[in-house]
Structure 1
Amino acid sequence: MSDRKQYMHQSVAQAVRDHGIDTMFGLVGDANLFMANHFVSGCGGTMVPAAHEGGTVLMAQAYTQVTGKVGVATVTQGPGLTNCFTALREGVVARRAMILLCGDTPVTAPFHPQNIDQREVVKATGAGFEQVKSPETAARDVATAFYRARKERRPIVVNIPSDFMWAEVEHQTVVFAYPEATAVITEGPVHEEAIGMIASAKRPLILAGAGAVSAKDKLIALAERMEAPLATTLKGTGLFKGHPNNIGYFGTLSTAEAYDVIGAADCVIVFGAWLHFLTTDRGALLKGKRVIQVNNSPSDIGAFFQPDAVLIADAGQTADNILYWLDEAEIAPSGFARQLPSHDISVHPKGDPEKSIDGCINLEYALDRLNEALPENRIMLTDGGRYITEVWCRVSVPDPGSFHMTDNFAAIGQGMQQAIGAAHGDPTRPVVLFMGDGGFMMGGANEFNTAVRTNRDLIVIICNDSAYGAEHIQMLDRQMDPSLTEFKWPSFAEVARSLGGQGVEVTSPEGLEAAIEAINARKGPIIVDMKLDPNSVPRMRM
Structure 2
Amino acid sequence: MTKVYEAMAEAFLAEGATHVFGMMGDANMHWMNAMAERGAEFFEARHEGSGLAMADGWARGAGRPGVATTTSGPGVTQLATSLVCASRARTPLVVMCGEVGLGDTGAVQYLDQRRFAEAVECGFVQVSSPSQAQSAVQRAFWLARTASRPVMVSAPTDIQQQEYDGGFEYVTSTGLIDDAPRPADPERIRRAAEILAESERVVVLVGKGARSDDVGELVLQLQDKTGALLATTLQVKNWLRDRTPYYAGISGLYGTQTAHELLQEADCLVAVGASLNHFTTEHGYLYPMARVIHLDRADQVVTGTGRPADCYVRGDASESLRQLVAAVAAVPTGRGGTGYHTADVADRLRTADALSEPFHQEADRLDPREVILALDELAPEELPLVLGSGHQTDFGTMLFTKPREIVSNYGLFGAIGQAPLLTMGWSLARNRQPTFVVEGDASFIMHLAEFDTACRYGWPVLIVVMNDEALGAEYHKSAAHGLAADLSAIPSPDLGSVATAMGGSGATVRTIPELEKVVREFLANPAPTVLDVRITREVLSVPYRRLWYAEEV
Describe the superposition over 1:172-207 as per-residue Cα deviations: whole angstroms up to 9, x where unpaired: 53313122153221244x554433221111121211
Question: Once the 2 structures are TM-superposed, how far is the Cα of residue 19 of structure 1 from its aligned partner?
Answer: 1.2
- Contact between 2:281 and 2:304, CA under 8 Å: does it hold in 1? no
Q: How does 1:142-541 map to 2 (within 5 A)?
A: 142-169=137-164, 172-176=169-173, 177=175, 178-188=177-187, 191-214=189-212, 215-244=215-244, 245-306=246-307, 307-331=309-333, 334-339=337-342, 340-342=345-347, 345=350, 348-350=353-355, 354-396=359-401, 398-400=403-405, 402-405=406-409, 408-443=412-447, 445-540=448-543
- Contact between 2:194 and 2:331, CA under 8 Å: does it hold in 1? no
Change (3 A) 1:406 1:482: closer
Partner residue of 2:128 out of 127, 133, 155: 133
AA paired with 2:316?
Answer: D
AA paired with 1:69?
Answer: R
Q: What secondary structure does 1:387 align onto? A: helix
Question: Once the 2 structures are TM-superposed, how far is the Cα of residue 345 of structure 1 from its aligned partner?
Answer: 3.2
**Residue 54 of structure 1: aligned partner:** 49
Describe the superposition over 1:395-447 as per-residue Cα deviations: whole angstroms up to 9, x where unpaired: 246455x434265111101112211111111124211111111111212x011
**CA distance, structure 1, for counterparts of residue 339 and residue 481 of structure 2:** 44
- Contact between 2:242 and 2:403, CA under 8 Å: does it hold in 1? no
Once the two structures are overlaid, the 10-residue window that deviates more, 502-511 or 486-495, is 502-511
- Contact between 2:204 and 2:223, CA under 8 Å: does it hold in 1? yes
**CA distance, structure 2, for counterparts of residue 540 and residue 506 of structure 1:** 26
AA paired with 1:259?
Answer: H
Give the total of aligned pairs.
534
Asked whether 1:78 is paired with 2:82, we answer no
**CA distance, structure 2, for counterparts of residue 99 and residue 502 of structure 1:** 33
- Contact between 2:267 and 2:291, CA under 8 Å: does it hold in 1? yes
**CA distance, structure 1, for counterparts of residue 373 and residue 402 of structure 2:** 13
Instruction: Mark the runs of 5 or more structure 1 residues left unpaired by the alignment.
Output: none
- Contact between 1:8 and 1:167, CA under 8 Å: does it hold in 2? yes
Q: What secondary structure does 1:298 align onto? A: coil
- Contact between 1:377 and 1:430, CA under 8 Å: does it hold in 2? no
Partner residue of 1:28 out of 24, 29, 33: 24
Question: Once the 2 structures are TM-superposed, how far is the Cα of residue 367 of structure 1 from its aligned partner?
Answer: 0.3
Structure 1 length as normaliser, TM-score? 0.93
**CA distance, structure 2, for counterparts of residue 518 and residue 353 of structure 1:** 29
**Residue 34 of structure 2: aligned partner:** 38
AA paired with 1:185?
Answer: A
Question: Once the 2 structures are TM-superposed, how far is the Cα of residue 515 of structure 1 from its aligned partner?
Answer: 2.7
Describe the superposition over 1:124-157 as per-residue Cα deviations: whole angstroms up to 9, x where unpaired: 0111000012123211211111111111111000
Question: Once the 2 structures are TM-superposed, how far is the Cα of residue 344 of structure 1 from its aligned partner?
Answer: 5.1
**CA distance, structure 2, for counterparts of residue 460 and residue 407 of structure 1:** 20
- Contact between 1:295 and 1:315, CA under 8 Å: does it hold in 2? yes
Once the two structures are overlaid, the 10-residue window that deviates more, 21-30 or 254-263, is 254-263
Question: Once the 2 structures are TM-superposed, how far is the Cα of residue 53 of structure 1 from its aligned partner?
Answer: 0.4
**Residue 98 of structure 1: aligned partner:** 93
Question: Once the 2 structures are TM-superposed, how far is the Cα of residue 490 of structure 1 from its aligned partner?
Answer: 1.0
Q: What secondary structure does 1:230 align onto? A: strand
Change (3 A) 1:405 1:108: closer
AA paired with 1:311?
Answer: V
Describe the superposition over 1:154-180 as per-residue Cα deviations: whole angstroms up to 9, x where unpaired: 100000001122222266533131221
**CA distance, structure 2, for counterparts of residue 351 and residue 77 of structure 1:** 55
**CA distance, structure 2, for counterparts of residue 410 and residue 355 of structure 1:** 28
**CA distance, structure 2, for counterparts of residue 290 and residue 345 of structure 1:** 27
- Contact between 1:406 and 1:418, CA under 8 Å: does it hold in 2? no
AA paired with 2:151?
Answer: I
Q: What secondary structure does 1:323 align onto? A: helix
AA paired with 1:182?
Answer: P
Question: Once the 2 structures are TM-superposed, how far is the Cα of residue 261 of structure 1 from its aligned partner?
Answer: 2.2
Q: How large is the Cα RMSD of the aligned pairs?
A: 2.1
Q: Percent identity?
A: 25
Q: What secondary structure does 1:503 align onto? A: strand
**CA distance, structure 2, for counterparts of residue 351 and residue 519 of structure 1:** 31
**CA distance, structure 2, for counterparts of residue 186 and residue 511 of structure 1:** 57
- Contact between 2:20 and 2:55, CA under 8 Å: does it hold in 1? yes
- Contact between 1:465 and 1:534, CA under 8 Å: does it hold in 2? yes
**CA distance, structure 2, for counterparts of residue 378 and residue 155 of structure 1:** 28
- Contact between 1:378 and 1:397, CA under 8 Å: does it hold in 2? no
Question: Once the 2 structures are TM-superposed, how far is the Cα of residue 311 of structure 1 from its aligned partner?
Answer: 2.2
